[in-house]
Structure formats: structure tokens, C-alpha cells
Chains A and B, each alone.
Chain A
Amino acid sequence: MDGGPEPDTNTGTVKLEGRSPGQLMWIRFKRDRTGVISAFVVGFFFLIALFAPLIAKVYGKNPYTVYADERPELFDSAGVPVQPNGGISSEFWFGLEPGNGYDVFTKLIYGIRTSLFISLAVTVAVVLTGILLGVTAGYLGGRTDYWIGRLIDFLLAFPSQLFFIASMPVVVSLFVSPRDETPTYVRVVALIVVQWVLGWMSLARILRGTTLAIREREFIEAARVSGATPWRIIRREILPNVVTPLLVQATYLLPSFVTIEAGLSYLGVGVVEPTPDWGQMFSKASTELVLQNDITYMFFPGVSMIIFIVAFNLLGDSVRDAFDPKTAR
């Protein structure tokens, strides 16, 4: 969509050499300015998530310090930071959280870390399940295909958001008794599990369709005639050919998992204090204390999430365009 007139990448190069579809995609992607910028933004978020402890160390604070206790002079009696704009100062770059007085900057970067870790784990689980069931259904066909299809139909009828909030306590209770304190990792595992269970269907369906189309092609037939086992055909012939829809779908799935996870934490069934989490910051931001006094706090999780989601969606569009330049926009 950007850049000058498009030269034909297939023939118009100096050296005549064969290019793999992957290389062609990469060349097209590099020319898409929006895509490259979004890729940098998305990469930036992942770097922040990865190096959050390091950044916090350099910055000299951590997201668990309750500044309402440590430095009570910074807060008024209600727990709102005394300084204007949510207590933003050279010491606290993004201000202080009303209430407990956590440092917002470290809380945000650690929160992004938690959310991205969970969503990445869900995406990996969903991609693996999608490949396993989708490709199997498409390649084997017949009864296997029928039953996997019915399973997908059935799971799609689930009210997903309701299922998430209803099953979170159940999954947690599998690990700990209701009387005990729930460790954070249990909640994280539960979040990953519930999103995974209801997250894989759309991808599996798309992969099934793609596999179904590929299965009829000559090179699969050739492989079959030359005696390749089904396992080898799936691994060596089909999988490389479903990478395109897989990658495109994965770039759309990950941001949606980020927003689902944040929504669950917002409703209070996901990650809870004191563990920093993107969504949990929204639940803090919607308390009367923040709404009534100073809404600066709200913008840090809000704006950062919008930037992240917009960048990721633009990246998804660019990846799709790069793979399939025919699609019009």
C-alpha cells in the first residue's frame, strides 16, 4: 500500500536466481512501510516485556513496593498522589498508583510482561493444537474429519467469555483447595488452559480447509505413490504449505488473547494483586478513587494497549499482504 510503483519481483532482478516463497514474502514485507514500523513497535513491546526486570533495576524501583507505606508524604489521606497528574515526577516517571501507591512505570512494564507471557503461551498452545487437529482432519478426512468437525461446532456454541470466567475458579480448584491462598502460577496456568480450550477452533478450521485443498495436489499424490508414510507426507509436504495461513492467523490471534486475558483480570478472575498485570491495571483504573480524583493513571495501561493492538493488527495485515499480494485493500 505504500512506496512507489511496484517492480515485478519475480523477474526484474539483476541475477537470475530462484527465490523461495519465503524470500519473496520477506522482500514484499520489507517494502511495506506500515508493516515495518508496526513490526518495530510490536518488537519494542516484546523487548520491554523480556527486559522488564533489567529496566526496573536501572530505573531503581520494583512494582511491589507499596509507596503509600514507604513514602506516605506523597499521598493525601484518601491515598491519591499529592502531586498533580497522578504524581508524575522525575522520580516516578508515570506517577504513582492511587490506593496502594505502586510505581506505575515498573507496574506497567511488569504487567506487559505478565500479559504477553500468558498470551504467547496460549498462542503456542493454540497453534500446536490447531495444526494437530486441523491438519489431521483435513488429511485423513472421513470419520476423523467428521468428529473433529463436530467437536469444533460444539465448542463454538460455547458462550466463550462466560465460560472463561465460570471455569477459572474451577481450574484453579484443581490445583489448590478453596481455603488456601492461590499461588500466582496456578492462576497463570488456569488462564492459559481456559483460553487454550476455547481458542483453537478457528485456526484448526482454517488449517483443515487449506490441508484439504493441498491434499488433492499432484505433489502429494507423487509422494504417496513413491511410498511415503502419511506422517512423512504431513511433516514434509503439507506442513511447509500451511505456514502461510498459520502465520497470518497467529498474528491475529495473539492480540485477541491479550485483550481476553486483560478482560478476565479486569473482571477479577484473572491475575490479582500484587502481581502486576495489564488487565488488572484497568480494574484498578475503574475504581471510584481513580474516577473521582485523577484519571491520569488510566491512560498508561489504556494508551499502551491501544498502541500495541493497533500495531499488531497492522502487522497482521502486512504479513497477510506480503504472503498474498492479490488481496485488495
Chain B
Amino acid sequence: MLRFLVRRTLGAIVILFLLSIVTFLLFFGMPRDPALLMCGKTCNPTSLANIHHVLGLDKPVPEQYWIFLHNLVLGSNQFDQGPCPAPCFGYSYHTNDLVWQTLMDRLPTTVSLTLGGAVCFLIIGLGTGLLAAWKRGTLIDKTATGGAMVLSSMQIYFLGPLALAVLVYQTHWFDKPAYNNFTGDPVTWFTGLIIPWVVLSTIFAAQYTRMARSSMIEQLQEEHVRTARAKGMSRQYVFFRYAWRGSLIPIVTIFGIDLGSLLGGAIITEYTFSLPGLGQLAVQSVFFSDLPLLLGVMLFSAAMILLFNIIVDAAYAFIDPRVRLA
């Protein structure tokens, strides 16, 4: 187990390193000058050169990358805005804040949104999926399958504004979604996030319903399940102890991928409900061409995906005793 974790972590670090090179080249090596946008209307060659020098853009790209990597690992005191401790992505072009600090400020929103949503969609999605598989072929199954089909084809950019319009703007049943600190006031934290959770988990729950149902039905046709039934075990016992465990494997895989990518920024959900999370931060930094911030979000997000890939693979060993990690 330990060897597995070490090996995978090293692999993830290599991938992150390569990813940082590609992203850095994409942002700083392309014929696009971020200084030009900051320079504004009164731009002249002198002020442009000045901005270049301040941002360190007058150096060759490999050197810029080396400085970036050096700062990232060891921190830096070279910035005009002040010191920049170890995971140093520099300072934002737009707000002049420390990038790492901004990321950490935005993270609780994304984590609240993701975890709350995940709890909802896992319970609803798996529950409905199991029920549909249990009652296969009945009206319940057909309703669940049909409903899941339609709901999973919905997009957050349709369902989100629709929920906002109906629940907030037309009926005034809810306040506009907002993020409040959980430690400050758990009640407003909950009420502020309830619409985003519902919208997010509606679409995801529908996908998990379909997945759980088909995975379960596939498992029920396995030979070990038939043998267990033939031995005289009750349908219930076989359903929940045999088939359920086997059907978890594909679900865990997808869940890990979903959770990792949502934690790296639920971009469309956060944008729709104006929640100040990592996803919204990414969209904003694209519009302000805030390259250090964008680079920070990108690497953080990728790290999340890789982390959850490792967790998923480790989780296999617990679910499926046949899997031996090495």
C-alpha cells in the first residue's frame, strides 16, 4: 500500500511538472502580451517596457519558467508587493493579491458546494438507481429511467437560471444564492447554498441513477450472484451483499473523477450563481488576462484531479479484495 502511494504520488508530481511547463508556455510563450492589456489607453513604448520589466516579461521564456519554478518551491522576496512564501505563484496582475492566498480564500466555497452537492447526488442517485434495478421492468423502473434520461441531458446553464428565475426572482421564496462562512453562521451557509446544491445534484443524481441501475443489472447477471441465489440465499441478501459491492467499482471510478474535477472549480455552477469559488476565479482571471492567477487555478485543479485518481485507485483495494496494489 505504501509503495503504491509513493509510486503514484511521484507519478502525479511528474505529470504536474509537465503540465506546468505546457501551461506556462501556453500563457507566456505565445505571441500575446499581457502587458499590452494592463498598459491601457495611454500606452507608449516606455511604459510598456516598464511593465515588462516589473512583470519579468523582458527575460527569455525558459528563464521566466525557471524563476516561476524556483519561486513555487522555495518562495521569493523579489516581488514589489511583498514577500511570497513557499507555494509561490506570484501576485495577481489584477488585484495585486498573493495568488496562493486568493486560492485558499476561494477554496471553502468550492469545497462547500462540491461536498454538499456530492452528498445529495450520491444518496438520491444511488438510491433511485438501486430501486430501479430492484424493481426492474416495473412502472417505478420505467419512470426512474425515463426521468433520469431527461434530467441527465439537462445542463446547469439551463437548469440553474431556470431555478433562479422561478425560486428567487418570481416567487421570492429564496434569497439569491451566496456563500457565507460556515463557522460564522451555519444557517445562512446552508440557505445560501441550497439552490446551487439542488441544481448541481439534480443533474448529477440523474447520471448516477443511470449508472447505478445499469451497473447493478450487470452484476445481477454474474455467475457468483446466480450461485448465491441457488444456494438459497434470499434475494435481498444477494442484492445488497453480493451485487451491490461489485457494482460499486465503476461508480467509485466516476465519482472520484467527478469529485476531483468539481473540487478544482465547479466552473459553470459557480458562474451561474455568482459563488466566489475557484471556478468563478478562473473565469474572472481569463477576462482580466490575469496569468499568474490562471496558472495557479490550473495547477491546483490538476492537482485535485490527480489526487482523487490516486484515492480512487486506493479505494479499489477496499471494495474489491481481488485488487492488490503494488
Contacts and interface: CB of A to CB of B under 8 A. Distances in A.
Interface string A25-52: 0000000000000000000000000000
A4 interface: no
Interface stretch (A161-169, A222-230, A243-251): A161-169
Interface in B143-158: 149-150, 153-155, 157-158
Interface string A268-286: 1100000000010011011
A90 B301 CA distance: 50
Contact of A178 (B27, B36, B268, B304): B36
A154 B26 contact: no
B308 to A, nearest CB: 11
A166 B268 CA distance: 14
Given A162-B298, A263-B155, A291 B27 contact: no
Contacts of B169: 291-292
Interface in A162-182: 162-163, 165-170, 173-174, 178-179
B265 A282 contact: no
Contacts of A111: none
B158 A282 contact: yes
B67 interface: no
B84 interface: no
Contact of B302 (A158, A263, A269): A158
B282 A165 contact: yes
Interface in B116-174: 149-150, 153-155, 157-158, 160-162, 164-166, 168-170
A301 interface: yes
Interface in A277-329: 279, 282-283, 285-286, 290-292, 295, 298, 301-302, 305-306, 309-310, 313-314, 328-329
Contacts of B309: 157
Interface size class of A (residues with CB under 8 A): 35 or more
B267 interface: yes
B1 interface: no
B184 interface: no
B198 interface: no
Interface in A141-165: 153-154, 157-163, 165
Contact of B30 (A173, A262, A283): A173
B139 to A, nearest CB: 16
B155 A298 contact: no
Contacts of A169: 32, 286, 289
A310 B268 contact: no
Given A153-B15, A170-B32, A165 B286 contact: yes
Given A159-B264, A165-B283, A178 B149 contact: no
B297 interface: yes
A305 B115 CA distance: 28
A161 B301 CA distance: 10
B149 A313 contact: yes
Contacts of B23: 166
A267 interface: yes
A292 B171 CA distance: 11
Nearest to B30: A170
Given A161-B267, A259-B155, A166 B286 contact: yes
B243 to A, nearest CB: 14
B216 to A, nearest CB: 11
Contacts of B188: none
Contact of A170 (B19, B26, B297, B306): B26
A173 B32 contact: yes
Contact of B282 (A162, A179, A305, A314): A162
A159 B305 contact: yes
Contacts, number: 129
A163 B298 contact: yes
Contacts of B155: 259, 262-263, 282, 305
Contacts of B268: 161, 263, 266-267
Interface string B252-276: 0000000001001101100110000
A279 to B, nearest CB: 7
B221 interface: yes
Contact of B149 (A173, A291, A314): A314
B60 interface: no
A270 to B, nearest CB: 12
Interface in B268-325: 268, 271-272, 279, 282-283, 286-287, 289, 294, 297-298, 301-302, 304-306, 309
Nearest to A306: B153
B247 to A, nearest CB: 14
Contacts of A262: 155, 157
Nearest to B18: A154
Nearest to B36: A178
B26 A267 contact: no
B265 A159 contact: yes
B105 interface: no
Given A178-B36, A283-B157, 18 more contacts: A157-B309, A159-B298, A161-B267, A162-B279, A166-B286, A166-B294, A169-B32, A179-B36, A262-B157, A286-B161, A286-B164, A291-B169, A302-B158, A306-B154, A310-B150, A313-B153, A314-B149, A328-B221
Interface of B: 15, 18-19, 23, 26-27, 30-33, 36-37, 149-150, 153-155, 157-158, 160-162, 164-166, 168-170, 214, 217-218, 221, 261, 264-265, 267-268, 271-272, 279, 282-283, 286-287, 289, 294, 297-298, 301-302, 304-306, 309
22 contacts: A154-B19, A157-B15, A157-B309, A158-B19, A158-B302, A159-B302, A159-B304, A163-B298, A165-B267, A166-B286, A173-B30, A173-B32, A263-B155, A266-B157, A267-B268, A279-B157, A282-B157, A286-B157, A286-B161, A290-B165, A291-B161, A298-B165
